[in-house]
């Protein structure tokens, strides 16, 4: 983890960017909710994805990512709330929105008894945006794009996990899309495959396509995304530009002092909450600032050897957000 980073804790309830007066987003949900019986799978999610963004949807398994994505695409009907996909209400206007949306949800789905090419041909036949004469070319290009040209005539059942995943990606990219939704695209891929996916996402981004990627791996989101949305137990607890997310919220100050215990005592007397962590003092800078902290310590006659801002990757936010407040 490199780069300066302040710990950010976005308010779990606020939708930081939705109030902004911006051009129509690629994707917007309001109070999106899905319950199965008495279980709440997704609770009042207000997602807002600007056009051209690459949004990483982060969350541990079971946090409602896939359910949210399925509702975005009209596969599942929300219990309440609404979804607007490329300006069209889902699921009622699926026919208008979905032709410009490519998606890979819950793993690739193909027929084992057909070759990769035939599977793609079948997908292509169903694509409204493809004209009959373009189908063969589109399929060839999609295969080239994911590097499956040589395996195209093999039966799908003989594909490795990675090849299956790439064929799924090819199906999502048969047509130039305005929005591409990829649910855990690197699942089962080796490092080379993962790099390949990242390359494709970067390519899509460069072409101005909006991309929504879900993952339970931070590194992936950090590596590919411009935006992030973090889900925990069905609730959206943070979303926004990756950079803003990393900087916003209360940063920490880490202090190496001559005596931790007396330092802690001195800060407490000054009304500054602090704790000892790994032999250092950690102070949250939400209600105070660094000079004040240092001054309080020096005033109490405690030697300050080192004071530095905490450098945390999104990983820490993620870990802290999803493991409960610490």
Partner 1 sequence: MRRRNIALTASAGVAAGALGLTSMTLPAGAQSPQLPQVSADELVASVMESDPPALAGRITVHNELGLPALPGAGEAGELLSGGDKSMRVWYDGQQRQRISMSNGSGETTVVDDGNTVWKWDSAERTVVKYSHGESSQGESGTKRPDAGTPAAPSEIAQPSEIAQRLVGKLRDTSTVQVDGTASVAGRDAYELVLTPKPNERTKLREVRIAVGAESRIPLRVEVNTNGSSDPALRAGFSELSTGEQDAELFQFTPPEDAKVRTPEKPEERSSAPSRQGSSDSGDDNRPRTEGTGWDTVVLSRLPENAMRSSAGDDEQSAPGAAEAGGTGVRAMAERMGSPVSGSWGHGWVINTSVGSAVLTSDGRVAAGAVPQQVLIEALRDS
Partner 2 sequence: MTGTASRVELPSGVRQRASAPFGRVVGSELSWILHRPRNLLALLGLAVIPVLIGTVLAITGGPSGGTGLFSAVAGNGLVLPVLALMLTQNLLLPLITAMVAADGLAGEAANGTLRGLLLAPVGRVRLVVVKALGVLLMVVLAVGVVALSGVLTGLLIVGSDGLVTLSGTTLPLGEALGRVALATGWCAVQMAAVGAVALAISATTEHSLLVLIATVGGLIVFGVLEAIPALEWLKPIFITADWYSISDVLSDPIRWNDLVDGLWRAGCYMLVGFSAAVARMATKDT
Q: Which residues would be at the binding site for partner 1 (CB under 8 A)?
A: 77, 91-92
The Cα–Cα gap between 102 and 227 comes to 19
- Here the tokens at position 41 are 């799978």
What's the N-to-C CA distance of the chain in angstroms? 21
Dump the DSSP string for 34-59. EEETTEEEEEEE--EE-TT-EEEEE-
158 binds, among partner 1, partner 2, none (CB under 5 to 8 A by kind): none
Are 230 and 238 in contact by the 8 Å Cβ rule? The answer is yes
The Cα–Cα gap between 117 and 103 comes to 18
Q: How many residues are recorded in the chain?
A: 326
106 binds, among partner 2, partner 1, none (CB under 5 to 8 A by kind): partner 2
Least distance in angstroms from the C-beta of 31 to partner 1:
16
Residue 147 phi, psi dihedral angles, 5° rounding: 70, 40
Kindly give, in sequence order, each residue whose CB lies less than 8 Å from that of residue 209, ignoring residues fewer than 6 positions away. Answer: 52, 176, 177, 178, 179, 180
Instruction: Please work out the total of residues on this chain that contact partner 2, with binding judged by CB under 8 A.
Output: 49
In the region spanning residues 26 to 45, those forming contacts with partner 2, defined by CB under 8 A, are none
For partner 2, the binding residue among 9, 18, 81, 96 (CB under 8 A) is 96
70 binds, among partner 1, partner 2, none (CB under 5 to 8 A by kind): partner 2
Binding of partner 2 at residue 132 (CB under 8 A)? yes
Binding of partner 2 at residue 273 (CB under 8 A)? no
The Cα–Cα gap between 206 and 134 comes to 24
The Cα–Cα gap between 258 and 207 comes to 55
For partner 2, the binding residue among 3, 21, 61, 126 (CB under 8 A) is 126
Binding of partner 2 at residue 300 (CB under 8 A)? no
User: For the CA atoms of the chain, what is the radius of gyration?
Assistant: 24
Q: Which is nearer to partner 2, 64 or 108 (CB)?
A: 108
Q: Where does this chain touch partner 2 (CB under 8 A) — which range of 130-138, 211-219, 220-228, 242-250?
A: 130-138
Binding of partner 2 at residue 136 (CB under 8 A)? no
Are 33 and 45 in contact by the 8 Å Cβ rule? The answer is yes
For partner 2, the binding residue among 47, 175, 272, 296 (CB under 8 A) is 175
Where do contacts with partner 2 occur on this chain (CB under 8 A)?
A: 70, 73-77, 94-96, 98-101, 103, 105-114, 118, 121-123, 125-132, 134, 137-138, 141-142, 144-145, 171, 175-176, 178, 203, 207
């Amino acid at each position: 983890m490199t780069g300066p980073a302040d710990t950010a804790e976005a308010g779990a309830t606020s939708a930081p960017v939705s109030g902004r007066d911006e051009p129509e987003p690629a994707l917007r949900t309001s109070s999106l909710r899905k319950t199965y019986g008495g279980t709440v799978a997704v609770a009042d999610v207000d997602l807002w994805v600007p056009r051209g963004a690459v949004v990483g949807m982060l969350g541990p398994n079971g946090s409602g990512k896939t359910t949210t994505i399925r509702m975005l695409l009209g596969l599942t009907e929300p219990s309440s709330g609404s979804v607007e996909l490329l300006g069209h209400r889902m699921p009622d206007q699926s026919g208008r929105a979905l032709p410009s949306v490519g998606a890979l949800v819950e793993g690739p789905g193909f027929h084992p008894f057909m070759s990769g090419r035939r599977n793609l041909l079948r997908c292509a036949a169903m694509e409204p945006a493809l004209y009959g004469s373009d189908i063969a070319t589109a399929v060839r290009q999609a295969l080239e794009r994911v590097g499956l040209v040589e395996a195209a005539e093999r039966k799908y059942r003989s594909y490795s996990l990675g090849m299956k995943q790439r064929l799924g990606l090819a199906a999502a990219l048969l047509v130039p899309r305005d929005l591409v939704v990829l649910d855990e695209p690197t699942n089962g891929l080796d490092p080379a495959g993962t790099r390949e996916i990242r390359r494709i996402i970067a390519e899509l981004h460069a072409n101005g396509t909006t991309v929504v990627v879900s993952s339970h791996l931070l590194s992936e989101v950090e590596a590919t995304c411009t935006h992030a949305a973090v889900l925990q137990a069905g609730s959206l607890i943070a979303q926004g530009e990756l950079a803003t997310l990393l900087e916003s919220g209360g940063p920490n100050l880490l202090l190496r002092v001559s005596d931790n215990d007396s330092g802690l005592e001195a800060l407490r007397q000054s009304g500054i909450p602090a704790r000892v962590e790994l032999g250092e003092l950690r102070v949250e800078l939400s209600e105070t600032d660094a000079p004040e902290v240092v001054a309080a310590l020096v005033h109490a006659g405690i030697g300050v050897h080192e004071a530095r801002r905490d450098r945390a990757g999104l990983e820490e936010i993620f870990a802290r957000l999803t493991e409960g407040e610490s």
